[in-house]
Structure 1
Amino acid sequence: MTDHQTVSTETVTRGPDISVVVPCYNESANVAPLVKALEQALAGRQWEVIFVDDNSPDHTSQRVRDLARNNARVRGICRIGRRGLSSAVIEGALSSSAQVVAVMDGDLQHDESRLGALIDAVLNNTCDVAVGSRHVEGGNNAGLANAWRHALSDGGIWLAQRVLPVKLTDPMSGFFALRQETFAAIAPRLSGTGFKILLDLLLSAAKPLRVQEVPCGFRPRVAGESKLDALVMLQFAALLLDKFAKGWVPLRFVAFCMVGLAGVGTNLAVMQCARLVGAHFAMAQAIGTVAAMILNFFLDNNFTYRDRRLRGWACMRGLVLFMLVCSVGALADVGIARMIYGQNHMLNEASLAGAILAVVWNYAMSSTVVWRS
């Protein structure tokens, strides 16, 4: 027997077959109940849950860490400086080594008991994507809080069905499953913006995916606040525009231009009001311009750059920077327009060239200076 004997014991366990990706923001109260519900729904299966949290102020990530210390099935990704459901799902799904990735919300509204049916449909190769649907026989959407949210959901479904390459009763669903390799193959073409990742997946696939719908209930929210609002639906419309443009025009630039049009209308309306109360043209124009800048900033902060939204003092600082950036853009607009007009070009051509330069300048500087990632 040797004087020194080293005994090495190594236990090797295989990884999970299923990863449940849960994008979340301010869902601290729902983390533990969701894990408990998944333990019942996925009993007998090799699974993990990956919470992808956008640095929630309610300490959602800390709650995930507390559970993960005593439960190897629980993993967490805390994202700093990045926001958005779609991009959260992409990061979570690409971090998985499981055969199947399932996606569900962190608010307990999705019926986790239907996960098994979604997963089996994918594993049995009867489809590429299994979708939990509220609108097939046996499903319901009773969890939508009021008539306004029903109208938003129904309007989004109607619009999505007009453009999808596959038949789907619930394209707005956030509850679905697919093979990890399928997700990874599509991921480079995803926009990663907004809240409707399923629609993005279906529109980004190189060829139409085989879809199977599984009846699913949608329960009322118990804790936390719903993220569905009119801005989410605007992001949804922008996603469709991005897909029609085949990615040639950045989705964020499309949104920035949409907000800019709202600013033009505001500028004209405020100028007219100022003129009616006796302001001379230069003063009315200045008032209208400032009003449009302020409106554009707050719309961009809550819509175009929602994933980088500024708050508190950072928001006030951002407003000042945005107004400076737009002021330079306005001066460039006038200068370029005068230069082109002076070279014997038509007035409309000169004005259009100046406006295009101003928009590109404002967008580039807003993305790199005001809303730095």
Structure 2
Amino acid sequence: MSTPLELAIIIPTFNEHAHVPLLVAKLEQALTGTRWEVIFVDDNSPDGTADAVREIARVDSRVRVIQRIGRRGLATACIEGMCATAAPVAAVIDGDLQHDETILPAMLDALRRDAALDVVVGSRFVAGGGTGEWDGDRVAKSALATRLSQKVLNVGLTDPMSGFFMIRTNLVRALAPQLSGIGFKILLDIMAAADRPLRFLELPYVFRCREQGESKLDHVVALEYLIAIYDRKFGNVVPVRFAMFSAIGVIGVLIHMTVLTMLHIGLGAAFLGGQIVGTLAAMTFNFFLNNALTYRDRRLRGWRALLDGWVSFCLVCSVGAIANVGVAGFLYDFHFGAWAGSALAGVLVGAVWNYALSSRFTWGRY
């Protein structure tokens, strides 16, 4: 009779081909005496990460890969991986070798010893932990994000931004329908989504430098963190994607008016010509910013996909503008002069139209 599976290690990947064999070797060394499996959840990496995993999996049944087509995002990859295992416990660890896999046995032992413990977190900010070679600016930003999460979401972790943790999989499966899956901070999402305070233990580790490839961290990741907090706090009132789409639309109006003013007032161009150029500028700005932020998990890549997406977005928004004017005009006539309310109603109808149709036909086709 074989030994029951004890632990699954979930590794979300995108372009980590070179790290795959190194990770498996490190796990082999760290988890001696433990019955484990590793699941790489790959977002269809163009560098062949999924194939690198399959090459090892042919000779090692503990190694598995989920290659996601048309789905992106670290948080959703972690959720998918944790729900795909039969192991009672799952650990999430990055694919870039920056997390210390040698503390995995201690994390598992803690969950074995205390049945009431829900999650064990690898922390850079408890005694004995560290951020390695981070500069002062990055340390300060991380500290600010920690304070913000503790203040807004009442999460008591010293390192809520950690992407390195171990959790009971039955808990994840129960919480999965409530998880937003936004951004990179799945631990924060789990802690905030639970209907009771989760019992946790933090174990120290020192964050390593990335050995190969480029870091996935950028300013968009920081923005996604704020978006995740918004979604957890207010997303049930106004969905976060619609809020982002609308906010970018407001910025687009400013772009439109700026271009129109420059052409019509500054350069003396005809009003109609300036209006057309301003509209195209705003639509183009809105399309690319929505592609980078609102639909980051579905973002279009490559010139052909971007061109097709831009054309479909412009067509959708053109029809939305007609709906805006039509609804506003009808309500204005019906209410005999309530111009402000009629105009706002038209804007709302146009925004909902643009959001619904672009979600389906611009970012829902790929």
- Kept in 2: contact 1:53–1:88 (CA 8 A): yes
Q: Structure 2 counterpart of 1:279, which letter?
A: A
Task: Work out the CA distance in 1 between the residues paired with 2:112 and 2:260.
Answer: 62
Corresponding residue of 1:226? 215
Task: Work out the CA distance in 2 between the residues paired with 1:93 and 1:143.
Answer: 30
Task: Work out the CA distance in 1 between the residues paired with 2:350 and 2:286.
Answer: 14
Q: Superposition pairs for residues 186-265 of structure 1, below 5 Å?
A: 186-265=175-254
Task: Work out the CA distance in 1 between the residues paired with 2:331 and 2:203.
Answer: 60
Instruction: Pick the aligned partner of 1:138 from 128, 137, 145.
Output: 128
- Kept in 2: contact 1:318–1:371 (CA 8 A): yes
User: Aligned-pair distance for 1:51?
Assistant: 0.3
Q: TM-score, normalised by structure 2?
A: 0.94
1:356 maps onto 2:345 in alignment: no
Q: Superposition pairs for residues 1-373 of structure 1, below 5 Å?
A: 12-125=1-114, 127-144=117-134, 149-274=138-263, 275-312=265-302, 313-343=304-334, 344-372=336-364
Q: TM-score, normalised by structure 1?
A: 0.92
Q: CA-to-partner distance for each residue in 1:50-101, whole Å, 9 max, x for gaps?
A: 1000000000000000011111211110000000001100110001111111
- Kept in 1: contact 2:260–2:277 (CA 8 A): yes
Indicate the SS of the match to 1:311.
coil
User: Aligned-pair distance for 1:283?
Assistant: 2.7
Corresponding residue of 1:6? none
- Kept in 2: contact 1:166–1:211 (CA 8 A): no
Identity %: 49
Task: Work out the CA distance in 2 between the residues paired with 1:236 and 1:168.
Answer: 16
Q: Which moved more, 1:225-234 or 1:19-28?
A: 225-234
- Kept in 2: contact 1:15–1:97 (CA 8 A): no
Residues paired across the two proteins, number: 361
Change (3 A) 1:140 1:250: same
- Kept in 1: contact 2:155–2:192 (CA 8 A): no
Indicate the SS of the match to 1:135.
coil
User: Aligned-pair distance for 1:305?
Assistant: 1.1
Q: Structure 2 counterpart of 1:27, which letter?
A: E
Task: Work out the CA distance in 1 between the residues paired with 2:57 and 2:318.
Answer: 50
- Kept in 2: contact 1:166–1:209 (CA 8 A): no
- Kept in 2: contact 1:93–1:101 (CA 8 A): yes
Task: Work out the CA distance in 2 between the residues paired with 1:290 and 1:160.
Answer: 39
Q: Which runs of 5+ in 2 are unaligned?
A: none
Corresponding residue of 1:9? none
Change (3 A) 1:89 1:302: same
Change (3 A) 1:210 1:365: same
Change (3 A) 1:119 1:222: same
Task: Work out the CA distance in 2 between the residues paired with 1:15 and 1:296.
Answer: 52
Task: Work out the CA distance in 2 between the residues paired with 1:152 and 1:26.
Answer: 26
- Kept in 1: contact 2:123–2:204 (CA 8 A): yes
Task: Work out the CA distance in 2 between the residues paired with 1:180 and 1:227.
Answer: 26
User: Aligned-pair distance for 1:358?
Assistant: 0.7
Change (3 A) 1:186 1:277: same
Change (3 A) 1:229 1:155: farther
- Kept in 1: contact 2:153–2:233 (CA 8 A): no
User: Aligned-pair distance for 1:281?
Assistant: 3.1
Q: Which runs of 5+ in 1 are unaligned?
A: 1-11
Task: Work out the CA distance in 1 between the residues paired with 2:137 and 2:67.
Answer: 32
- Kept in 2: contact 1:87–1:193 (CA 8 A): yes
User: Aligned-pair distance for 1:246?
Assistant: 5.0
Indicate the SS of the match to 1:65.
helix
Q: Structure 2 counterpart of 1:194, which letter?
A: G
User: Aligned-pair distance for 1:143?
Assistant: 4.7
Q: Structure 1 counterpart of 2:318, which letter?
A: S
Task: Work out the CA distance in 2 between the residues paired with 1:117 and 1:264.
Answer: 54
Q: Which moved more, 1:338-347 or 1:82-91?
A: 338-347
Alignment root-mean-square deviation, CA = 1.7
Q: Which moved more, 1:257-266 or 1:88-97?
A: 257-266
Q: Structure 1 counterpart of 2:105, which letter?
A: G
Change (3 A) 1:335 1:66: same
